[in-house]
Amino acid sequence: MPDFTRKFSIPHWDNYSDDDIFYRLFKNSAKEYKDEIRDIFFGGEFHYEYKGEQKKYGDVMGVSPSPIQLDNLFKIQDEFGTEISLTLNTLDMGKELASDANVINQMLEFIRGYYERGLRVCTISSTHLMRTGALQEAFPDMNWKNTVNHLVKSTQEVYDYAALGYTTILLDRSLNRDIDLLKEIRQETKKLKIETSLLASESCMPSCPFKQEHDLWQAPLQQSESNYWQTFPTTCVRWRTPYTEQLPRLGINISMATKEIVDEFSENVDVFKFSGRLGQSQGIDPDGRMCWSGIEKGNRKIDLESGKLLDAFEYADSFQEIYEKSLSPYLVDRWAPQGWTNLAQTQQHSAEDISSIWNTKKGQGLSKILSKCKNRCWDCHACEKVFGVEAFNSTLEL
């Protein structure tokens, strides 16, 4: 049986207006829930002046915690032993960040403010800055993560990023569909004594041609009166329709319809990461508790008396509980790690009263295919066959 202790990296709700709600819900969560969290990641921004110009280096999403939220994050780390992780992941940066001694020293002072408070995990996207060795020398106990936006897709690249000083390698999303390569990487990271992390939930299409521009424009748009999706309605919002939203090839989520697949991924990846720093929906009970929650996505409870489909909200206090009770499908096809409930007891539905294609023989077969398909969608079309959708070669055709 897999050990899910410190297995999941979850986002802080940086964009949420209530400064205390994340802390309160996490504080109220079960010990089993807390034990499974590897870290809680949050955004940050380093502001500096260079040649008379005000500049910044920081976060792709354009959101960071408020001072009160940051204090609460350190309270979580101090009170519960759950590590917090600073994220500086933009690839849009000035060369002075790694070439100008004055700017580098300012950057070190910026990180030192977190380090002296106890921060020991940090995502840094500037490979040139890592190459200087200044960060590693100044903060010897820091666990340095690269960013998933580096698109690390091979075992050789894992070695290369480890040589730069990264101690947790965030692998490219495409490896969600290549378990054989993950097995190879696993053998080498054991030798290197470093961790790997895989983004388990990602709505982006595989190798999205818009991603680089999206990442460049996301932060300024997030801080404007518009946002990315309102400004560019011809990209992902165009193919995320009720007709196609469940089709797995339109995203790159890890598909885990069976325990066998959970076991394979868990054995070959140290940490599963989840996105979500832009915030949660309104109406959260501040006195509730954070937990795993069931996602409606294709899952409905059937009222056996009336035959009607009912909302399938459900909760669990740990992924271990989900696994042991065989509440399939697992992870993002049914479960998300940051739901909340104010119910005294967990609530789950059996596979028999959940209407999910992933609990059928063909759905479980598709999940197995997805674990090693390498996103060769033009040459496969298994997703369309299982979901009864007309075959297409590129998502951009939709």
- 36-80 confidence digits (pLDDT tens): 999 999 999 999 999 999 999 998 888 899 999 999 999 999 999
Helix (H, G, I), strand (E, B) or coil at 122: strand
- 21-31 confidence digits (pLDDT tens): 999 999 999 99
Predicted pLDDT at 233: 87
Predicted pLDDT at 48: 97
Task: Say whether pLDDT at 296 is over 80.
Answer: no
d(CA 211, CA 219): 13
Which CATH number belongs to the domain containing residue 17 in this structure? 3.20.20
| Tokens encoding 236 | 């992902």
Range of the domain at 174: 8-273
The answer to whether position 140 is within a domain reads yes
Into how many domains does the chain fold?
2
Predicted pLDDT at 162: 98
d(CA 181, CA 154): 8
User: What average pLDDT does range 313-326 have in this prediction?
Assistant: 93
Do 202 and 294 have their domain in common? Answer: no
Computed over every residue of the chain, the mean pLDDT equals 90
Task: Of 122-136, 237-251, 317-331, 332-346, give the lowest mean pLDDT range.
Answer: 237-251
Predicted pLDDT at 337: 94
End of a domain among 273, 299, 318? 273
**255 exposure class (CB count in 10 Å sphere: 0-12, 13-18, 19+):** buried
The answer to whether position 280 is within a domain reads no
The answer to whether position 284 is within a domain reads no
Task: Say whether pLDDT at 339 is over 80.
Answer: yes
Q: Which residue has the tokens 């994220």?
A: 87
CB 82 within 8 A of CB 39: yes
* Percentage of residues in the chain having pLDDT higher than 70: 93
Do 311 and 217 have their domain in common? Answer: no
Do 346 and 243 have their domain in common? Answer: no
Do 230 and 320 have their domain in common? Answer: no
Do 207 and 306 have their domain in common? Answer: no
Do 263 and 350 have their domain in common? Answer: no
Rg (CA), the chain: 21
The answer to whether position 30 is within a domain reads yes
Do 335 and 240 have their domain in common? Answer: no
Do 260 and 309 have their domain in common? Answer: no
Task: Say whether pLDDT at 306 is over 50.
Answer: no
Q: To which H or E segment does residue 84 belong?
A: strand 83-88
Q: Which residue has the higher pLDDT, 305 or 376?
A: 376
pLDDT band at 107 (very low <50, low <70, confident <90, very high): very high
Do 157 and 244 have their domain in common? Answer: yes
Do 254 and 361 have their domain in common? Answer: no
Amino acid identity, residue 342?
A: N
The answer to whether position 309 is within a domain reads yes
Do 260 and 307 have their domain in common? Answer: no
CB 43 within 8 A of CB 58: yes
Helix (H, G, I), strand (E, B) or coil at 350: coil
Q: Which residue has the higher pLDDT, 212 or 69?
A: 69
The answer to whether position 282 is within a domain reads no
Q: Strand ranges (DSSP E) for 188-252?
A: 195-199
The answer to whether position 3 is within a domain reads no
The answer to whether position 1 is within a domain reads no
End of a domain among 219, 239, 273? 273
d(CA 171, CA 155): 10
Q: Which residue has the higher pLDDT, 50 or 239?
A: 50
Predicted pLDDT at 312: 53
- ∠ CA 369-336-1, rounded to 5°: 65
Which pTM value belongs to this model?
Answer: 0.92
End of a domain among 273, 299, 334? 273
d(CA 14, CA 16): 6
Do 298 and 256 have their domain in common? Answer: no
